[in-house]
A and B are shown apart, each in its own frame.
Chain A
């Protein structure tokens, strides 16, 4: 299925001035977004301490903001969003499946090991 609203990125498909303008507008939008999100993260990090009641909420908001930033970098700056769907999924799906598995298994195991240390002692 061909879509004519996407700007073609294959080897010899040169962009016109008009297409360039559209792309630059998108780039500036993402720049502003990344800057604002980073500023929000720093403000939260500097003013909310890890002992505060709001910390767990802030911590998860960091994770969400990070994934948001990463998504925009990959999809717009690396324009994976403009590549063929099959390429997009070949890159993203195996990576995400493996990382989710790794994060789950490593953190779960770490908590168990930490628990064992504190129960049975050790250096």
Chain B
């Protein structure tokens, strides 16, 4: 190795000494940073695995939790995350094409592919915003606690709420008023508080106690293909048994929802509880995808800065496009992390 130093070009030398890996200082430090960042994400995913392995009960399943598409509703297991993955892969490809153009000193090529990468990055961040919003707001059915103390998630198509007809006046509404706005929000709010009532043999004639103290009859279309999947065992229904379907499911769901007792249903997710599974599941979702999303966002910002540098001709004058290569390393790393998050959070 001692004789090797003489063969080296003076420009690849560090201040006085031979560069140990024949890479520049900046690139090497980027690699070291990425290794440390990879340890952080590795630690987070291992912590997720730890929690999942020591948890005694049913852990949420990706294809049941993530099965919605914007504008199209639900029933599309994993399609949305697959789309997000594809967007990130494509933007990684455009980034590597920008790096490749930089090595040929092709300024126009670098700018073109950098812009494509930035657009891809924005698409991914936007997709993640939609996914978070959907995760937080939850499904129309929520997670229901059944009469025997078991808990079930609900799949199927929620029959539309058509109107509330006031039968007892309150502060704002008079008797006979027909309310047609903001029904879902009021319905879910009342459900959480235990303000929905119906007699057991008259589940199709429910009433709602509204915020202003008025009471109204609920007019609601029938649900379709309702399925209850038990996620926490009770006295009667156990985890791992076949899902409950048909009339039986509808009756069990609504006798709990219309029982007039609070806390029988959870919609969406916050840091304390969520409709998908245990508390830790929601926390890991927010932390891991949030931390990754933060990386994507900062990657987009860095890409924009470097793209402007390329437009200004800074790197061309410098004689090399290594800045593009370094930001490229970071961007590929973000894609790399998503490959693992996709597998261990959504698939397995």
Cα separation A23 to B90 with both chains bound (whole Å): 17
Contact B78 A42 (CB under 8 A): yes
Give, as a whole number of angstroms, the nearest-CB distance from B238 to chain A.
13
User: Is B329 interfacial (CB-CB < 8 Å)?
Assistant: yes
Contact A69 B339 (CB under 8 A): yes
For residue B38, which residues in chain A have a CB less than 8 angstroms away from its CB?
Answer: 95
Give, as a whole number of angstroms, the nearest-CB distance from B124 to chain A.
14
Contact B23 A50 (CB under 8 A): no
User: Is B71 interfacial (CB-CB < 8 Å)?
Assistant: no
Interface positions, chain B 92-115, Cβ under 8 Å from A, are 92-93, 95-97, 100-101, 103-105
Contact A114 B53 (CB under 8 A): yes
The size class of the interface chain B forms with chain A is 35 or more
| Pair count A-B, CB < 8 A | 161
**Nearest chain-B residue to A80 (Cβ)?**
B31
Cα separation A9 to B50 with both chains bound (whole Å): 40
Contact B23 A10 (CB under 8 A): yes
Contact B97 A45 (CB under 8 A): no
Interface positions, chain A 64-123, Cβ under 8 Å from B, are 65-66, 69-70, 73-74, 76-78, 83-84, 86-87, 90-91, 94-95, 98-99, 102-103, 106-107, 109-111, 113-114, 117-118
16 contacting pairs across A/B (C-beta < 8 A): A17-B104, A27-B97, A31-B90, A38-B82, A38-B86, A46-B63, A63-B343, A63-B348, A73-B92, A78-B328, A86-B21, A87-B21, A87-B22, A87-B28, A91-B31, A114-B53
Extra 12 A-B pairs, beta carbons < 8 Å, given A78-B336, A99-B46 = A10-B23, A19-B103, A46-B63, A73-B335, A77-B332, A102-B43, A103-B49, A107-B46, A110-B54, A114-B54, A117-B56, A118-B56
Chain B residues with CB under 8 Å of chain A are 9, 11-12, 20-24, 28, 31, 35, 38-39, 42-43, 46-47, 49-56, 61-63, 77-79, 82, 85-86, 89-90, 92-93, 95-97, 100-101, 103-105, 240, 319-320, 322, 328-329, 332-333, 335-336, 339-340, 342-343, 346-348
Chain A residues with CB under 8 Å of chain B are 9-12, 14-17, 19-20, 23-24, 27, 30-31, 34-35, 38-39, 41-42, 45-46, 49-51, 59, 62-63, 65-66, 69-70, 73-74, 76-78, 83-84, 86-87, 90-91, 94-95, 98-99, 102-103, 106-107, 109-111, 113-114, 117-118
